[in-house]
Chain A
């Protein structure tokens, strides 16, 4: 949280050349894991994250099964080579917490009551981390769930906003997260207009809080368009894409 250097230059450009309300480059590929019921690979800036969905399937251990709905289980995990210094492969407290908030961010979108006595397992593996990996992970997991054909109320899109050099900006990267003033990851269902994940690290006053929340939701809506395009591409091919653009 120390401000060692300016994160926005005199032309209003950020360390990676972006403007204040610009996302990093995002690319989503659907159906990348053959064995999984649904999967997606997301490249969110330098983040490279794989999401795989298995289920609805029988619950093991059996006593975890619920009579009236499906159990959603999530695991967020970072590979040892995903960070600058090697990460111990055992789950850290941070990963346990992210797994939990991720599950809670995805669950409102799923019609779990349609699959009683079953489980859906969502595995999110971070292959390369670059700040905002939970948002990228949720975004990919949501696409993977759709790819698995799970009944859904909406797609969950996630994006962070934050404060660097006193300015509210969209989609914080690794450097900005480490050296900036605040980071606020948000997950949002664009059609239902509901916030499913909200966290904040760092100091924001009243006005900045509202502004930051608005900016993150704006980012989520942009991420949603990319999710939608990726799914269209997978299921309807290039033609629809072109038709849509016309």
Chain B
């Protein structure tokens, strides 16, 4: 029931006024247009001990994600599917406002929204990751650590998780005499689609994509929309205490599709370059 402290950074009154003046003319304090994303940098394979890894910079927001693969029992009701477990944490390195300790509400939401985008889009064909139906399956852990926080952690974390999965090679497990053995061989990760999360915020009547921390401190409402490779929507989450009108939501849905395609091309480049 904690009320989160991370979003309590203070934006001075003058700065806020400046931001509003700019927004009414369609310009943001960092010079971007309202629907312009910050530069995205993706580096993959940096963690050799992981089955796959990625470091993503979205402006100054930076996330490292690693994939680890084990075997274990399937989830209840999903006996014929491998298990996907995604976690996210905001490290105390990320900003002066983060303290070590159990995840607060905001961080739990972050992990669940990123997880939902990947799970609901069915990015991985989990039915290919079963050893013995109902007993032993592959368990894919995707752990994401935010190391620097400057807004829009939802998208930065999602891009890191997706890039780490693209980068990963899975071990090949076999069952010998009822025991799981690692054959030492590697197999491709069964990727079926590339989910892209696009987050928009509303400040007054302006809709901004890929907000930074300063803008988020002034936002009225936030929404994250994840689309798959067919540009269909797979997951949506509205957040923060403000509201949206129906018209605004439909407008955001349209830009989530076009901007999502831009980001998806970056993922496609990763796949083509064999990273």
**A-to-B contact residues, CB < 8 Å:** 1, 64, 71, 73-75, 85, 93-94, 96-97, 99-101, 103-104, 107-108, 178, 184, 189, 192-206, 209-210, 213-214, 217
Residues from chain B with a CB closer than 8 A to the CB of A193 are 245-246
**For chain B, what secondary structure do more than half of its interface residues adopt (helix, strand, loop), or is it mixed?**
mixed
A75 (CB) vs chain B CBs: closest residue:
B1
Query: Would you give the shortest CB distance from B29 to chain A, in whole angstroms?
Result: 26
| B141 sits at the interface (CB 8 A) | no
Across the interface, do A198 and B253 meet the contact criterion of CB distance under 8 Å?
no
Across the interface, do B238 and A213 meet the contact criterion of CB distance under 8 Å?
no
Contact of B240 among A71, A74, A97, A104 (CB under 8 A): A104
Identify which of residues 216-256 in chain B touch chain A, using a CB-to-CB cut-off of 8 Å. Answer: 223, 228, 230-246, 249-250, 253-254
Across the interface, do A97 and B109 meet the contact criterion of CB distance under 8 Å?
yes
Residues from chain B with a CB closer than 8 A to the CB of A97 are 105, 108-109, 112
B108 (CB) vs chain A CBs: closest residue:
A96
Query: Would you give the shortest CB distance from A30 to chain B, in whole angstroms?
Result: 24
The answer for the CA separation of A207 and B181 in the assembled complex, in Å, is 48
B253 (CB) vs chain A CBs: closest residue:
A209
Residues from chain A with a CB closer than 8 A to the CB of B230 are 205
The answer for the CA separation of A214 and B108 in the assembled complex, in Å, is 29
The answer for the CA separation of A1 and B122 in the assembled complex, in Å, is 10
Across the interface, do A74 and B1 meet the contact criterion of CB distance under 8 Å?
yes
Across the interface, do A96 and B239 meet the contact criterion of CB distance under 8 Å?
no
Across the interface, do A99 and B105 meet the contact criterion of CB distance under 8 Å?
yes
**B-to-A contact residues, CB < 8 Å:** 1, 3, 76-77, 105-106, 108-109, 111-112, 116, 120-122, 223, 228, 230-246, 249-250, 253-254, 257
B243 (CB) vs chain A CBs: closest residue:
A194
Query: Would you give the shortest CB distance from B222 to chain A, in whole angstroms?
Result: 9
Query: Would you give the shortest CB distance from A69 to chain B, in whole angstroms?
Result: 11
The answer for the CA separation of A196 and B106 in the assembled complex, in Å, is 17
Given contacts A100-B109, A203-B234, A209-B253, contact A195 B1 (CB under 8 A): no
Residues from chain A with a CB closer than 8 A to the CB of B236 are 184, 198-200
Residues from chain A with a CB closer than 8 A to the CB of B120 are 200-203
Contact of A198 among B109, B231, B238 (CB under 8 A): B238
Across the interface, do A201 and B238 meet the contact criterion of CB distance under 8 Å?
no
The answer for the CA separation of A151 and B72 in the assembled complex, in Å, is 52
Contact of A93 among B111, B122, B238, B239 (CB under 8 A): B111
Residues from chain B with a CB closer than 8 A to the CB of A196 are 238, 243
Across the interface, do A195 and B232 meet the contact criterion of CB distance under 8 Å?
no
Across the interface, do A199 and B238 meet the contact criterion of CB distance under 8 Å?
yes
A108-B241, A189-B243, A203-B228 known; 15 new pairs, CB 8 Å cut-off, are: A93-B108, A96-B105, A96-B108, A97-B109, A99-B105, A101-B237, A104-B239, A194-B243, A195-B245, A198-B223, A198-B249, A205-B230, A205-B231, A210-B250, A210-B253
Residues from chain B with a CB closer than 8 A to the CB of A94 are 112
